Chains A and B, each alone.
Chain A
Amino acid sequence: MAGNASVAEAAAKPAAYTPASRTPAPQSNFAPWKDPAKNPIVRFENVTKRFGDFVAIKDCTLDIYEREFFALLGPSGCGKSTLLRMLAGFEKPTEGRIFVNGKDITDLAPYERTDVNMMFQSYALFPHMTVERNIGFGLRQDGMEKSAIEARVAEAMALLELGKFAQRKPHQLSGGQQQRVALARAIAKKPRIMLLDEPLGALDKRLRQQAQFELMRIQETTGTTFVIVTHDQEEAMTVASRIAVMNHGELAHIATPGEIYEFPGSRYVANFIGDVNIFEGKVSAIDGNDVTIDWPSGNDSFTAQGSAGLTIGQQVWLAMRPEKVRIFQTKPTEACNAIPGKVVDVGYLGSISHYHVKVASGQQVTALRANAAQTVEHNIKWDDDVWLEWPYDAGMILTK
């Protein structure tokens, strides 16, 4: 995602060369959350939801802006679906208010929330209606004229390429087709905010990737604000403009996919998004931006780029993405962070290889290497003594 930004920068310079296959994303400069003048279209204000003694959502405050593709990401039971269902009106917050477009909708019933429509995980198609009547259901509830309904239904069916299934019943459709009908049915009402509860969960991997791009295309063509709930971090990274990572009913981190991946706010977020190596240590010296971290279990110390607010003696965690760890057979010279270890496992995936290296502290560190050379002779093998090295700005210092 950081790569995307640099491509966009390059494209902004006149006469800069842009590879034809990678046109810059039109939304790369899209960041309404950074603009204090913008009003959010959705605002959760100190929302708490309790089911009996169980706290599903803990004092959550969240702004979502118009035209965003916002992802709520977290493991099952983290409260992400509850948050979405509160926005749709199926659950009522125990405390706090919810605003849509500046209007307090906390006490409105689902059928009174005209700005919001939802697509369900189970698709929830009406089994006794044809595809056409399913899609027109919401419009009939609004008392629209018959000809206007027909036009809208046709429009929605065209958008999702459902034309030839108009007269079929849901049970005569495949899973992918049902998913598109469910999407068409919600989008036909032209809501300002579209809620998607694990919309692609029932599809197999290949179909899911296709559907992700389909969702992005529809979100862009209709200009609707999308809020998606997912437990699949790849899906969230692919589709979303911003991601909120949730943990036990709390918002652990809200940021763009790139920021979340490169600068996660906590060990939980770092672990949840992608793979990560974590070293526990204490700050022993701070020199401007350079922070020295003692790593007692490995009897070593590291230097890393630190942020403000660190104090000497503070307990910190140094987190590092596997692709930023380099692996060598001999000790690299002039490396600022280098530790020895022994290879315990090699995972060859074709394009890349994973190396699991046991280091002095006994923990396993993963390094990732692209297999750039066309050879089957890989010089690093099981039980080899190796050195792991990473630059001082590759790791992130986490304080929680």
Chain B
Amino acid sequence: MNSRFSWFNVTSIVLGFAFLYIPILLLVIYSFNDSKLVTVWGGWSTKWYSGLLQNDALLDAAWVTLRVALVSATVATILGTLAAIVLVRMGRFRGRTLFSGLVFAPLVMPEVITGLSLLLLFVALGFDRGYWTVTIAHATFAMCFAAVVVQSRLHDFDKSVEEAAMDLGAPPVRTFFEVTLPIIAPAVISAWLLAFTLSLDDLVIASFTTGPGATTLPIKIYSQVRLGVTPEINAISTVMIGFVTIGVLVASYMTKRQSAMRERETRAVDQGAA
């Protein structure tokens, strides 16, 4: 038992967490700083938060980010779910390996390259860069994450449940909406939340594909920071951290609840059999 709390383990955990979270903690604390100087503590205040509400440029950026995230997450989830269904359900078709490779490649593709290639595409097609190009770009790279999440759920989904629905007279489309979708819904929701979060804090791809009038919050923050960090930035960053944390927590809660439920089901079956 003692070995679990050896000085080595404790030190590595403390150092690891400190490395990860002290910067974030500092940022959150300094967002409540009364002083205008970012690095000097001048007492508690929420004035930067109320200041945010007057900063139209930041609010605009936040609004753009939110719209991009909502639309791109929805598109990414739909496409990702479809891709996952094809990969898991269609069996071995010609080009399956290539297809799955293409779906999952963006996971490991450097963002700079994804961003650059999308930029080239939009230029070649003559698209005006702006809100829609960012949305399309985000949907593209978030889709593969959504596909992974849904695919893992579909893998341990008993295919005979769908067969039973068809056997009982439901055509494939109705089977999908009445049986498959309700069962995989938690995975689809966590895929959406993941895609939403990814879009919310993406800087690289957005800065490649955006145009005038469609500045997202991360771009705005980044450009302001280059002129010097203000406590206002700390405040908006804290708000974003809050959003992302909630998103991740809800997503992981859904996944956990789902697997707990599945476990309970299996246990019930086992008990019945025993």
Is B265 within 8 A of A170, CB to CB?
A: yes
B164, B265, B272: the one contacting A120 at CB < 8 Å is: B164
Is B167 within 8 A of A118, CB to CB?
A: yes
CB 8 Å contact bits of B165-177 with A (1 = contact, 0 = none): 1111111001000
Q: What's the nearest-Cβ distance from chain A to residue B182, in Å?
A: 5
CB 8 Å contact bits of A204-247 with B (1 = contact, 0 = none): 10000000000000000000000000000000000000000000
Is A110 within 8 A of B179, CB to CB?
A: no
Q: What's the nearest-Cβ distance from chain A to residue B167, in Å?
A: 5
Is A117 within 8 A of B167, CB to CB?
A: yes
| Neighbouring A residues of B272 by C-beta, 8 Å | 173-178
CB 8 Å contact bits of B123-159 with A (1 = contact, 0 = none): 0000000000000000000000000000000000010
B107 at the interface (CB under 8 A from A): no
Is A117 within 8 A of B268, CB to CB?
A: no
**Bound CA–CA A385/B169 (angstroms):** 66
CB 8 Å contact bits of B241-262 with A (1 = contact, 0 = none): 0000000000000000000010
Task: Tell me the interface secondary structure of chain B in the complex.
Answer: helix
| Neighbouring A residues of B261 by C-beta, 8 Å | 171
**Bound CA–CA A170/B179 (angstroms):** 14
One of A122-130, A321-329, A339-347 contacting the partner:
A122-130
**Bound CA–CA A186/B171 (angstroms):** 16
- Which residues between 45 and 84 of chain A lie within 8 Å of chain B, taking CB atoms? none
Known: A114-B169, A141-B174, A185-B168. A122 touches B273 (CB 8 A): no
Is B183 within 8 A of A120, CB to CB?
A: no
How many residues belonging to A are interface residues under a CB distance threshold of 8 Å? 38
**Bound CA–CA A114/B168 (angstroms):** 8
| Neighbouring A residues of B269 by C-beta, 8 Å | 171, 175, 178, 202
How many residues belonging to B are interface residues under a CB distance threshold of 8 Å? 27
**Bound CA–CA A125/B169 (angstroms):** 15
B160 at the interface (CB under 8 A from A): yes
| Neighbouring B residues of A124 by C-beta, 8 Å | 158, 160-161, 163-164
Q: What's the nearest-Cβ distance from chain A to residue B89, in Å?
A: 13
- Which residues between 237 and 263 of chain A lie within 8 Å of chain B, taking CB atoms? none
Q: What's the nearest-Cβ distance from chain B to residue A247, in Å?
A: 25
B6 at the interface (CB under 8 A from A): no
A117, A122, A142, A171: the one contacting B160 at CB < 8 Å is: A122
Q: Which residue of B lies closest to A203 (CB)?
A: B273
Q: What's the nearest-Cβ distance from chain A to residue B179, in Å?
A: 6
B274 at the interface (CB under 8 A from A): yes
Is B273 within 8 A of A90, CB to CB?
A: no
Q: What's the nearest-Cβ distance from chain A to residue B165, in Å?
A: 7
- Which residues between 156 and 180 of chain A lie within 8 Å of chain B, taking CB atoms? 170-178
Is A141 within 8 A of B169, CB to CB?
A: yes
Is B265 within 8 A of A111, CB to CB?
A: no
Is A138 within 8 A of B169, CB to CB?
A: yes
**Bound CA–CA A197/B272 (angstroms):** 19
A358 at the interface (CB under 8 A from B): no
A189 at the interface (CB under 8 A from B): yes
A109 at the interface (CB under 8 A from B): yes
B271 at the interface (CB under 8 A from A): yes
B47 at the interface (CB under 8 A from A): no
| Neighbouring A residues of B163 by C-beta, 8 Å | 88, 90, 110, 118, 120, 124
B96 at the interface (CB under 8 A from A): no
**Bound CA–CA A128/B183 (angstroms):** 7
Write 26 A-B pairs (CB below 8 A) sorted by A numbering: A89-B166, A109-B171, A110-B166, A110-B167, A111-B166, A111-B168, A111-B170, A114-B169, A117-B167, A118-B163, A120-B163, A120-B164, A121-B160, A124-B164, A125-B161, A126-B161, A126-B165, A137-B168, A138-B168, A141-B174, A171-B261, A174-B272, A175-B272, A175-B273, A189-B168, A202-B269
Closest 3 CB pairs of A and B: A175-B272, A174-B272, A138-B168
